[in-house]
Amino acid sequence: MAAKTESTFINMVLTLFVVTAVAGLALGSVYNFTKEPIEIAKQKKLTKAITAVLPAFDSIEEKMVQEANGTESLAFYVATKDSLLIGTAVSTYTMKGFSGLIQLMVGFLPDGSIHNISVIEHKETPGLGTKMKDAKFKDQFIGKNPANFNLKVTKDKGEVDAITAATISSRAFSDAVQRAYDTFEKNKGGNE
């Protein structure tokens, strides 16, 4: 009787091993098959965000620059038209969103004023925090220079009108824009 139990246990372990191996190979194959299309989609999304936040340009140069606080690097996309600097798109982020990570692309003109902002990624509450993508919220930043525009919500004695019932998301959005501006200023718009 004991031999049958041992045999069944070995058969179960072997079966489990075979199933796991087949599943692992299948998962690896799917990953390899989808890796390139995912990268292409990410690149298109990035290009669309850069184009949305900057004036028309004919040349762009990517630079990785040290964040203002010196801990991380942010990607700068320095844009020129007819060899003249017309703006810098800064890929920025914050971990202070209601659901964590929020990624933005902020377009700055050479004087430091905000040309436009594009939301790249977030996991905020649908119908509340997701309103950060709406023109009603994000357009209040356009044309503002953070040197003299307080990038905090009005509840925190700033000048940003928060999204109703989504103050945490509004604070996080402002935090990401402030990170971009501080890094932009520290690195002279990526022209160091």
State pTM to two decimals.
Answer: 0.79
Structure tokens at 70: 């010196």
The verdict on residue 9 lying in a domain is no
CA 188 → CA 19, 108, 115, distances in Å? 56, 11, 16
Please, which residues bridge with residue 91 across strands?
75, 105
Residue 34 placed within a domain: no
The two tokens of residue 156 are 């925190």
In the chain, how many domains are there? 1
* pLDDT per residue rounded down to tens, the chain (192 residues): 455 555 688 888 888 999 999 999 999 888 888 888 888 888 898 999 999 999 999 999 999 988 877 778 899 999 999 999 999 999 999 998 888 899 999 999 999 999 999 999 888 888 888 888 888 999 999 999 999 999 999 899 989 988 888 889 999 999 999 999 999 998 876 665
| 23 inside domain | no
Neighbour-count burial of 140, counting CB atoms closer than 10 A to its CB (0-12 exposed, 13-18 middle, 19+ buried): middle
Residue at 151 is within a domain: yes
**Residue 162 belongs to some domain of the structure:** yes
Whether 6 is covered by a domain: the verdict is no
Note whether residue 144 is domain-resident. Answer: yes
* Closest to 176 measured CA to CA, from 72, 93, 89, 67: 93
Range of the domain at 129: 54-190
Residue 72 lies in a domain: yes
